[in-house]
Amino acid sequence: MESVERLVRLPPLREDLDLLPGGRERGGSPVWILHDRPRNRFFRLGWAESVLLRLWSRAGDAATLVALVGSETTLRLDAAAVMRLLAFLQANQLLRPEGEAGIGELARRAERARGRWWSWLLHHYLFFRLPLVRPDAFLGATLPWVEGFFRPGFLVLILAAAILGLHLIVRQWDLFWNGFPYFFTGAGVATFAVAIVLSKVIHELGHAYAAKRHGLRVPTMGVAFLVAWPVLFTDTGEAWKLTRPRARMRIAAAGVVAELGLATFASIAWNFPDPGPLKSALFTLAAVTWVTTLGINLNPFMRYDGYYLLADWLEIPNLQDRSFALGRWQLRRLLLGWREPPPENWSGRLQLFLVLFAWVTWSYRFLLFLGIALLVYHLFAKPLGIFLMAIEIIWFLFLPVVRELRVWVTTPGVSSPGSVLLLALLSLLGLALLCTPGEGRVEIPALLKVAAHTQVFPPASGRMAQVGVVHGQRVARGDPLFTLVSPDLEAEVRQNRMDIAALGWRQEALGLDRELRSQRLSLIERLATARSRSQGLEALLRQLTITAPLDGIVTAIGDGLTPGRWVGVETALVTIHDPAAVVLLAYISEREVADLLDSEGGAGRHFRTARFYPSEPERSSIPVEYVASDDAAMALLDQPMLASFHGGPLAARKDSQGRAVLDQAIYRLHFVPSVAVASLAHPIPGSLVWPVWRPAPVVRLATAAAALFIRESGF
């Protein structure tokens, strides 16, 4: 064995590497940092690896190195540890190339790293960095100017001012909230861009000055593009040189505190100007900085400031990778009865936290990457967008699952046979459920209302003499409701009677006056007209006693209808509903109505067992019969009480005339109850529900995917 170890020659290390102390692990073991200066990369090593590196140049082969470690330290290592370190050094290009073979290997690695242009573009279009400035000298020269911002009293001042700013905003929350439409104006977009740039410049300067204050070099600052969205960055990689986690936390928190100070200033200043461009600009600055600080920068589930703060607070470097390894181990243990020991030993509570952190991060990233895939799809032209979306889903969502399943399959002997059998049975059951059609139900919003109703108006203008009805009263057809007095109408009747008498006298005098005989036909026509008018006026006079036009219930009475009030012909006196005539209006989306109305047997086949479930709990469900459906989708909702801005289930918005404009194509279906319905004093919202036979979920998914692909690809 020793002869084999002596055959393993140890290549020399690169001369531009630094081995620095890195503090201690959470458990107390020492840590060392290997700094690759040309690439500004840092590698965290344990005690054994640091000892091997310090003695590396004194040994020509693995056996000699193992012997040196055993003679000069208390460590007892074998050649396997040396070989693992050698593989690590080779993989990260930390060895000095020797001869043409070494140089050729470096060239081949560089060529593989570059790859073809299309391969580089495919892997880097989502995220790439563009260094812009080398700020180290500038930061060193201006550091004394900002030294006061790093004193403890400044942080206390910022926190107190933040509380004050939030308090002032909450006091005028409606006014603050009403400022959001400003975002969607041309000036709002420009102000938003300025606010983003200003807040991010201050944020990155906070990181940079904090790093410089700890004696670190800040080699570059620039802009990174995340799904085509520009994001400023600062290279603070040298923070790994700091041995105390609290010092690294100060660097990570400096950007958040700087941006918090800007948000605080904008929040307080927003309260003072009068409404106008300045107030809108301060609103934008406050809203943008609060959202980016609390919602993005402090998010621990992505590699932003919140993640590094959490990692240093827990004193767990590489928190994400280590928690992911523990999360995978726990998942295998639950599903497969995995008998392997955990990748690292932690206390019970910390282990539970790391597992939950890993699982929550996976869930968060699943939604995030799915959103990024959809964003990529919409950002690019359709053929390219579909291709890139598929790449994102495969690379970020599908392949990690495949890699984990490969571990399950290719690692025999560490799983419990019973757990594996149970998992297989559950998987088969799930697959069977996905492939099995079944009965489901469809639920759509509906409104039960009376179909027959009428509004009663006065036949003529007049003065109210008697009110004989009250709200909620049941009336029969012909029952008196109101009595009006119309002096103008009565005067017309009297005048018309006098005209009839005069015309009658002149007709009787035709035989006595030759001149009147010449007007005989005209007198007869005028008398007939006057008598006809008399009949109409007399009928109108009788109608001043207003009666119920139908059997029903009085559901509305005009405001202020008391004896003595004058009313015009346009005044609605009363509304009467016939509670026996009830109709159900249901509202269904365009996607659902197509399947119903175009299927075999029409919509009536689906609705044979439909029932209406009122929102009023004291009313029981009602079976209904399908009558008809509208031929065209509705643009305006005919029942505003169902609109979302009134708390209803249908998404709608108000137009300039106060009408309910639907946000999507909605069809109206007409039903009648199959049984007698108790009288309705007002419309009753609820849900129309009916059972349907659904295809298997996998069939529905494939159909929807194919329809989406055909529709969006423009084929």
Cα 128 from Cα 198, distance rounded (Å)? 22
Beta bridge partners of 575: 455, 556
Residue range 691-699: mean pLDDT, rounded: 76
> Is the predicted pLDDT of residue 272 greater than 80, yes or no?
yes
My answer on whether 653 and 545 are in the same domain is no
User: What phi and psi, each to the nearest 5 degrees, are found at residue 343?
Assistant: -60, -30
My answer on whether 411 and 471 are in the same domain is no
Tokens in use for 357?
A: 């952190």
Question: 288 Cβ partners below 8 Å, 6+ apart?
Answer: 192, 195, 196, 199
Cα 112 from Cα 123, distance rounded (Å)? 14
My answer on whether 602 and 659 are in the same domain is yes
Average pLDDT of the residues of the chain: 80
Question: 626 Cβ partners below 8 Å, 6+ apart?
Answer: 603, 604, 607, 610, 669, 670, 671
Residue 64 placed within a domain: yes
> Is the predicted pLDDT of residue 326 greater than 90, yes or no?
yes
Tokens in use for 317?
A: 């470097």
Give the number of other CB atoms < 10 A from CB of residue 518. Answer: 10
Handedness of CA 657, 659, 664, 667 (dihedral sign): negative
The DSSP 8-state label assigned to residue 289 in this structure reads H
Least confident of 196-200, 216-220, 328-332, 536-540: 536-540
> Is the predicted pLDDT of residue 356 greater than 90, yes or no?
yes
> Of 195-204, 349-358, 576-585, which has the strongest mean pLDDT?
349-358
Least confident of 81-90, 357-366, 677-686: 677-686
Cα distances (angstroms) measured from residue 325 to each of 274, 321, 329: 56, 6, 6
For residue 593, name the pLDDT band (cuts at 50, 70, 90): low
| 207 burial type by CB count under 10 A (0-12 exposed, 13-18 middle, 19+ buried) | buried
> Of 442-451, 503-512, 574-583, 585-594, which has the strongest mean pLDDT?
442-451
Least confident of 185-194, 316-325, 557-566, 590-599: 590-599
Cα 671 from Cα 327, distance rounded (Å)? 54
**Are 135 and 221 within 8 A, CB to CB?**
yes
pLDDT at residue 103 in the model: 63
User: What phi and psi, each to the nearest 5 degrees, are found at residue 125?
Assistant: -70, -25
Residue range 12-23: mean pLDDT, rounded: 83
| 28 burial type by CB count under 10 A (0-12 exposed, 13-18 middle, 19+ buried) | exposed
Specify the residue for token string 């439909």.
610
Q: Of the candidates 526, 545, 567, which is a domain's last residue?
A: 567
The DSSP 8-state label assigned to residue 115 in this structure reads -
pLDDT at residue 362 in the model: 93
**Are 255 and 204 within 8 A, CB to CB?**
yes
Tokens in use for 77?
A: 């290592």
Q: What is the largest CA-CA distance in the chain?
A: 161
Cα 192 from Cα 181, distance rounded (Å)? 12
Q: Of the candidates 514, 547, 567, which is a domain's last residue?
A: 567
pLDDT tens, residue by residue, 86-118: 888 888 888 887 666 656 666 666 666 555 655
**Are 216 and 237 within 8 A, CB to CB?**
no
**pLDDT > 90: percent of the chain:** 9
pLDDT at residue 98 in the model: 67
Residue type, 384: L
| 304 burial type by CB count under 10 A (0-12 exposed, 13-18 middle, 19+ buried) | middle
Cα 298 from Cα 221, distance rounded (Å)? 21
Crossing angle (nearest 10°) for helices 62-72 and 47-55: 110
My answer on whether 376 and 261 are in the same domain is no
> Is the predicted pLDDT of residue 148 greater than 50, yes or no?
yes
CA nearest to 206, candidates 261, 161, 257: 257
Residue range 505-510: mean pLDDT, rounded: 63
Specify the residue for token string 């998010």.
299
My answer on whether 598 and 651 are in the same domain is yes
Q: Which domain holds residue 494?
A: 452-567
Q: Which carries the bigger pLDDT value, residue 330 or residue 437?
A: 330
Q: Which carries the bigger pLDDT value, residue 423 or residue 106?
A: 423
User: Which of helix, strand or coil describes residue 207?
Assistant: helix
Give the number of other CB atoms < 10 A from CB of residue 526. Answer: 17
Q: How many distinct structural domains can be found in the chain?
A: 5
pLDDT at residue 108 in the model: 67
pLDDT at residue 519 in the model: 64
**Are 92 and 83 within 8 A, CB to CB?**
no
My answer on whether 158 and 276 are in the same domain is yes
> Is the predicted pLDDT of residue 578 greater than 60, yes or no?
yes
pLDDT tens, residue by residue, 629-669: 787 888 888 888 888 888 888 888 887 777 888 888 888 88
Residue 332 placed within a domain: no
Residue range 179-185: mean pLDDT, rounded: 70
Q: CA dihedral defined by 61, 62, 63, 64, rounded to 10 degrees? A: 50
Residue 152 placed within a domain: yes
Specify the residue for token string 């807040």.
199
My answer on whether 496 and 377 are in the same domain is no
Q: CA dihedral defined by 367, 368, 371, 373, rounded to 10 degrees? A: -110
For residue 248, the number of C-alpha atoms closer than 13 Å in the C-beta half-sphere is 25
pLDDT at residue 359 in the model: 94
pLDDT at residue 599 in the model: 47
Cα 447 from Cα 465, distance rounded (Å)? 39
Tokens in use for 263?
A: 């948000």
Residue 329 placed within a domain: no
My answer on whether 103 and 163 are in the same domain is no
pLDDT at residue 600 in the model: 44
Q: Which carries the bigger pLDDT value, residue 213 or residue 243?
A: 213
Residue 445 placed within a domain: no
Residue type, 283: F
Cα 267 from Cα 163, distance rounded (Å)? 10
> Is the predicted pLDDT of residue 587 greater than 80, yes or no?
yes
My answer on whether 461 and 553 are in the same domain is yes
For residue 142, name the pLDDT band (cuts at 50, 70, 90): very high
My answer on whether 75 and 223 are in the same domain is no
Residue 242 placed within a domain: yes
My answer on whether 89 and 148 are in the same domain is no
Cα distances (angstroms) measured from residue 165 to each of 20, 338, 421, 662: 44, 53, 59, 39
Q: Of the candidates 402, 433, 464, which is a domain's last residue?
A: 433
For residue 137, name the pLDDT band (cuts at 50, 70, 90): very high
Tokens in use for 366?
A: 């699943």
Cα 430 from Cα 426, distance rounded (Å)? 6
For residue 208, name the pLDDT band (cuts at 50, 70, 90): very high
Residue 340 placed within a domain: no
Residue range 1-20: mean pLDDT, rounded: 71
CA nearest to 611, candidates 470, 442, 456: 442
**Are 221 and 131 within 8 A, CB to CB?**
yes
My answer on whether 135 and 98 are in the same domain is no
Cα 125 from Cα 141, distance rounded (Å)? 36
Residue range 387-416: mean pLDDT, rounded: 80
CA nearest to 253, candidates 160, 322, 166, 158: 158
Give the number of other CB atoms < 10 A from CB of residue 706. Answer: 10
Question: 6 Cβ partners below 8 Å, 6+ apart?
Answer: 61, 62, 63, 64
The DSSP 8-state label assigned to residue 611 in this structure reads E
Give the number of other CB atoms < 10 A from CB of residue 190. Answer: 12
Tokens in use for 446?
A: 């509906």
CA distance from start to end of the chain: 67
Cα distances (angstroms) measured from residue 281 to each of 176, 265, 692: 12, 13, 54
User: Which of helix, strand or coil describes residue 713?
Assistant: helix
Residue 647 placed within a domain: yes
**Are 467 and 554 within 8 A, CB to CB?**
no
Angle at 189 between CA 129 and CA 652, to 5 degrees: 115
